[in-house]
Amino acid sequence: MSQLLNVQDFTLGFAGRDPLLNGISLHVDDGEAVALVGESGSGKSLTTRATLGLLPERSQHSGTVAVRGLNTLTARSAELLGLRRNKASMIFQDPRAGINPVRTVGDFLTETLVRWRGLSRAEALERAVEQLEQVGLRRASELVHQHPHQLSGGMLQRVMIAAALLDSPELLLCDEPTTALDVTTQAGIVKLLRDEQQARGMGMLFITHDLNLASSLCERVYVLRNGRVVEHGSAREVFLAPQEEYTRQLVGATPSIELDRVPAVPVAVEGEEPILSVDSLSKHYELPHGDTLTALDQATFTLPVGGSLGVVGESGSGKSTLARLVVGLETPSEGTLRLGVVDRPDRPLKARERKLLAKDVQIVFQDPYLSLDPRIAVGHAVADVFRLHQKQGRRQAQDSARELLGRVGIGPERFDAKPRALSGGQRQRVALAKALAARPRLLVLDEATSALDVSVQAQVLELVEELRDQLGLTILFVTHDLAVVSRLCSQVLVMHQGRIVEQGPTARILADPGDDYTRNLIGSRPRPLWDRDVITTP
């Protein structure tokens, strides 16, 4: 029997442009889990799709991509259908986008069974229910009649996995299957994938940008960069003793929790008012159908001047709501929020109040593609803030903007650039400069580095640290990522479903969490396969 997946010297591109994939060679054997690790634009998704013969239109390619000896680059469409139906299945990144929203879950699962496995609808549905139960979904017989929007993201990804397994594939392709999910959900999915792969002896090609995740699931790793394989080998070797410079950088930039590197809690100055004190703060939203959603429930904490507080939680934890309340984008429903010496009114802020508040607190948002005005040159955008807040003239404001942009690493040659001409990391630097131009005392970072590649994220975090120390900023860092918090924040506040479940010094909470949810959050972080045997569960 020929090799399960064998890619030889695979090159793909469009006429007149640099190739997107350049001489990629890799292989996956039966029963083996292999990771394909790379940052955005490295070509990892293209490679996986080519395995199923899903090539971009009008692309040119050479080399071979062979599954059990069938070259998908040259195969006839009937052969490709056979391959997709019987040999290889794929699990996609975003299950909410990947399952047809207007059809039922049952329809999604059974459409292949009814079409060419010759099952009746009833038989197919029975098989689907069994499979759903096997991937850990309860009340599967009800689920099959529901539509995707009625299920959570984690449940949907299990549905997607169930659909892939129904075809009993020999090769399972996973394209960042947990990126859209929360970390605790991710842990469950990863375990399921690992168990199924082992039990069925499937070959698995697992694509991810996350080295930690790769090492928790796969024995072998290929590191991809700009369409080339930079390094490959056993996960342990690549992770612990990377040979190539790029891999070393990648490993170094990958966030990890290192307790000895957590910043120390600053010594509170006697009698000094905290910059932010929040007492029993709640925020309710009226939902369209008359229900009330409590996004933030009775939050109480203080943030001393010069401190750095991490707010950690999964989606729906209320952490973003908290950030928006602090910067005045939302109005509190109950409780008090005191910034410096000013109590926040329980009504929308007036223009004058907003301008005053702006000098105290600023925010940087997550999405670098949406957080800058697309029409305004970046230098101009920063200069506008100087003119508003520092009462500077046009000339002076431009000089100040140039200087500040230089400080965040944006050279004067980009002063007149539109945001679209900048990379994600550069945009976040500009967003940072815009916020700092108001000279705030408190800076809120709302998942400000989450959308960036790990190497870019590391640079931006470094910049934030630097600026914090130089400008004496107080930082409120909202994130889902414990590792990022451990690096930047001396104190942490863990949120779950609108409530603060635990708060205190970062080092203490990470080492000795007092709450079950925190413990679950920490325990859900992917752990390398080779560490599993060493660490005994507490």
Partner 1 sequence: MTLSLSLPQQGLRRYTSALSPLAWAAVLVVAVVVAVSVFAPALAPYDPDYVDLNNVLAGPGAQHLLGTDALGRDLLSRLMVGGRTSLLGPTLVVLGSTLLGLLLGLAAGWSDGWAGKVLGRAFDILFAFPALLVSMLAVALFGKGLVAPIIAMTIAYVPYVARLTQGLVVSERARPYVQAYRVLGFRTPWVVLGRVLPNLIPTVGAQSALNFGYVLADLAALSFIGLGVQPPTSDWGAMIEESRGALLGGYVLPAFWPALVVVVVVVAVNVIGEEISDRIGGKLS
Partner 2 sequence: MSVMDAPAGEPRSTQRHTTTPGRAARPRRLRFVLGKLFSLLLTLFIASLAVFFSRFLVPGDPARFLLRGRSPKPEALVEITRQFGLDKPAWEQYLNWLGGILHGDWGRSLTYRQDVSDVLLNRLPTTLQLVALAAVFITLLGLLAGIIASLNKGFGDRFILVTLTAAGAVPPFVAAIALVALFAVQLGWFPSFGSGDGFLGRVWHLTLPALALGITYIAFVARVTRSSMNEQLVREHVEVAMSRGLTRSSVVVRHVLRNALGPILTVSGVMIAGLLVSSAIIEQTFGLTGIGQLLVQSIDRLDFGVVQAIVMVVVTAFVVVNTVVDLLQPLIDPRIAAGTETR
* Residue 223 CB, nearest approach to partner 1 (Å): 20
- Does the CA dihedral 525-529-534-537 come out positive or negative? positive
Single residue of 8, 55, 64, 111 touching partner 2 by CB under 8 A: 111
Could you give the 3-state DSSP secondary structure of residue 261?
Answer: helix
* Residue 209 CB, nearest approach to partner 2 (Å): 17
* Residue 215 CB, nearest approach to partner 1 (Å): 24
94 binds partner 2 (CB under 8 A): yes
Which of these ranges, 86-94, 343-351, 374-382, 428-436, lies near partner 2 under the rule CB under 8 A?
86-94
Residue 237's binding partner, choosing from partner 2, partner 1, none, with beta-carbon cut-off 5 to 8 A by kind?
A: none
Let me know if 111 is exposed, middle or buried by CB neighbors in 10 A (0-12, 13-18, 19+).
Answer: middle
Q: Which residues make up the interface to partner 1 (CB under 8 A)? A: 40, 327-329, 351, 354-359, 361-363, 365-367, 369-376, 384-385, 388-389, 418-420, 424, 431, 434-435, 438, 451
CA pair distance 42, 224, nearest whole angstrom: 6
* Residue 435 CB, nearest approach to partner 1 (Å): 8
Two structure tokens written together for 365: 């948002």
Report the DSSP pairing between strands 474-479 and 491-496. unpaired
Two structure tokens written together for 250: 């990648």
* Residue 507 CB, nearest approach to partner 2 (Å): 28
Return the number of other C-beta atoms located less than 10 Å from residue 63's C-beta.
Answer: 18
- Give the per-residue contact string, 167-186, with partner 2 (x = CB under 8 A; - = no): x-------------------
CB 297 within 8 A of CB 496: no
Residue 434's binding partner, choosing from partner 1, partner 2, none, with beta-carbon cut-off 5 to 8 A by kind?
A: partner 1
324 binds partner 2 (CB under 8 A): yes
In the beta sheet, which residues pair with residue 173? 90, 205
82 binds partner 2 (CB under 8 A): yes
97 binds partner 2 (CB under 8 A): yes
* Residue 93 CB, nearest approach to partner 1 (Å): 11
Could you give the 3-state DSSP secondary structure of residue 179?
Answer: coil
- Give the per-residue contact string, 291-310, with partner 2 (x = CB under 8 A; - = no): --x-x---------------
396 binds partner 2 (CB under 8 A): no
Single residue of 297, 360, 447, 453 touching partner 2 by CB under 8 A: 447
CA pair distance 156, 151, nearest whole angstrom: 6
Could you give the 3-state DSSP secondary structure of residue 35?
Answer: strand
325 binds partner 2 (CB under 8 A): no
CA pair distance 30, 42, nearest whole angstrom: 26
Residue 30's binding partner, choosing from partner 1, partner 2, none, with beta-carbon cut-off 5 to 8 A by kind?
A: none
CA pair distance 416, 115, nearest whole angstrom: 57
Single residue of 16, 271, 288, 411 touching partner 2 by CB under 8 A: 288
240 binds partner 2 (CB under 8 A): no
Single residue of 89, 197, 308, 398 touching partner 2 by CB under 8 A: 89
For residue 251, the one-letter residue type is V
* Residue 217 CB, nearest approach to partner 2 (Å): 21
CA pair distance 485, 445, nearest whole angstrom: 11
40 binds partner 2 (CB under 8 A): no
CB 503 within 8 A of CB 205: no
Single residue of 34, 65, 90, 165 touching partner 2 by CB under 8 A: 90
In the beta sheet, which residues pair with residue 223? 37, 231
CA pair distance 388, 381, nearest whole angstrom: 11
Which of these ranges, 122-130, 146-154, 410-418, 427-435, lies near partner 2 under the rule CB under 8 A?
146-154
The 8 Å CB, 24+ separation contacts for 511-520 are 511/259, 518/494, 520/184
Cβ-based nearer residue to partner 2, 52 or 223:
52
419: Cα within 13 Å, side-chain hemisphere: 21
- Give the per-residue contact string, 480-519, with partner 2 (x = CB under 8 A; - = no): -----------------x----------------------
CB 480 within 8 A of CB 314: yes
Cβ-based nearer residue to partner 2, 147 or 527:
147
Two structure tokens written together for 247: 């891999």
Single residue of 19, 153, 307, 310 touching partner 2 by CB under 8 A: 153
Pick from 355, 368, 391: which is nearest to 447 by CA?
368
286: Cα within 13 Å, side-chain hemisphere: 2
Two structure tokens written together for 1: 């029997």
Cβ-based nearer residue to partner 2, 56 or 345:
56
Could you give the 3-state DSSP secondary structure of residue 423?
Answer: coil
Which residues in this chain contact partner 2 in the complex, by CB under 8 A? 49, 52, 54, 57, 81-86, 89-90, 92-94, 97-103, 111-112, 115-116, 139, 142, 145-147, 149-155, 160, 163, 167, 285, 287-289, 293, 295, 315-316, 318, 320-321, 324, 365-367, 370, 446-447, 497
